[in-house]
Structure 1
Amino acid sequence: MDAGERPKILIVDDDEAITVALAAFLGRSGFDVRVAADGRAGLGEVEREVPDLVVCDVLMPHVDGREFVRRVRARQLWLPIILLTQVGESWERSAALDEGADDYLNKPFDPHELISRIRAVLRRTARGAVPLRAAERLRSLDLTLDRTARRVWRGENELTVTPKALMLLEYLMLHPEEVHSRDRLLSALWGFDFASSSRAVDHRIAELRRVLGDNVAEVQFIETVQSLGYRFLAPVVAG
């Protein structure tokens, strides 16, 4: 995408009331918007012209959002995809990320939050040829996370991390330099039905800091943003 060019956004949703309003809002916000009425039509639009980012509903006729992601990724197309999921369906949220979506947003959603998510994902994917979501390894300073083997190293030393803390680390590294509230991390990784207290997040953050060697005096990786949540501070590259 050339500097100054309007990012091309494809909205894939079978709810016309949403697509009409959202297309107008994104257009006013500086995006070049196309609309597809379901996943099958969305695949046709991607075939015709690959957009800079797709906003795609999960529950649709013909081809649903998860199948849309699978088919796009099967073509080795790593264009960014934000899935719109249903509130309360934690399995949908985890499946969205596991199957290759770059982010998700619960319905109903604030259009301004969607704009923020779109811009954040576009910033991440513009930094290198290989998107973080497509990488088998994530690297930050001397930290390496092998997403396939589910192993973590600092330099030559392998670290011992519990499965849930590793999931949290992976999520933070896939979304570097973004602030994540405790509620959002609960929703993305635990599901609100799994844990009702944000202390579940705090305990895993404390574990990661201990294992990574982060401390209050010298934060290298995970920063606390007062009253807001947590941020992975160091730059992350595909390894």
Structure 2
Amino acid sequence: MEKKKIFVCDDDRGILDALEIILALTDASVVSESRSSFALRRMLDEKPHILIVDLWMPELGGDKLIEHVRNTAELRDMYIICMSAAQGAKEIAIRAGADKFLAKPFDMNDILSLVEV
């Protein structure tokens, strides 16, 4: 069976590092990107199964990145988890096409249960 691949996109290096450490507890491989404007091209190259994306980022917001993924044939079926600390973010994320929303600060067990899909 192919190893699950998780792509993480967040402009906060501390969050990326924390997610890489948490996701190392799974049997998935993890690819991370701090610049949202590079994320779509990298996902097309990497073909991840799951995307974990921050909602508010410079360059390209997470909602726009989710919309691009949903409109890209090779990626549209990817499972997407969007995270944010902002008020009203869940509605924006779900409207953009996220499968799940995770409020920041998040609990390690919440992340692990969401990626076990």
For the pair shown, which has the larger CA radius of gyration, 1 or 2? 1
- 8 Å Cα contact 1:38/1:64 also seen in 2: no
Aligned counterparts of 2:40 and 2:91: Cα–Cα separation in 1: 23
Picking from 105, 112, 116, the partner of 1:115 is 112
Aligned counterparts of 2:108 and 2:27: Cα–Cα separation in 1: 14
Q: Deviation digits for residues 168-193 of structure 1, max 9, x if unmatched?
A: xxxxxxxxxxxxxxxxxxxxxxxxxx
> What RMSD, in angstroms, separates the aligned Cα atoms of the two structures?
1.3
Tell me the equivalent position of 2:103. 106
Q: What count of residue pairs does the alignment treat as equivalent?
A: 115
- 8 Å Cα contact 1:9/1:31 also seen in 2: yes
Q: Deviation digits for residues 69-125 of structure 1, max 9, x if unmatched?
A: 1111111322111000225x12x2112112210001000000211110121xx2xxx
Q: TM-score, normalised by structure 1?
A: 0.46
User: What one-letter code is carried by the residue in structure 2 that aligns with 1:66?
Assistant: D
- In structure 2, the gaps of 5 or more residues are none
Q: TM-score, normalised by structure 2?
A: 0.90
Could you list the structure 1 runs, at least 4 aligned residues long, displaced by more than 4 angstroms after superposition.
none
- In structure 1, the gaps of 5 or more residues are 123-239
Deviation at 1:41, TM superposition (A): 1.8
Picking from 37, 40, 43, the partner of 1:43 is 40
Structure 1 residue 85 and structure 2 residue 84: aligned?
Answer: yes
Aligned counterparts of 1:62 and 1:94: Cα–Cα separation in 2: 21
Tell me the equivalent position of 2:3. 6
Deviation at 1:21, TM superposition (A): 2.1
Q: Deviation digits for residues 122-141 of structure 1, max 9, x if unmatched?
A: 2xxxxxxxxxxxxxxxxxxx
The higher relative CO (CA closer than 8 Å, separation ≥ 6) is in 2
Q: Percent identity?
A: 28
User: What one-letter code is carried by the residue in structure 2 that aligns with 1:80?
Assistant: Y
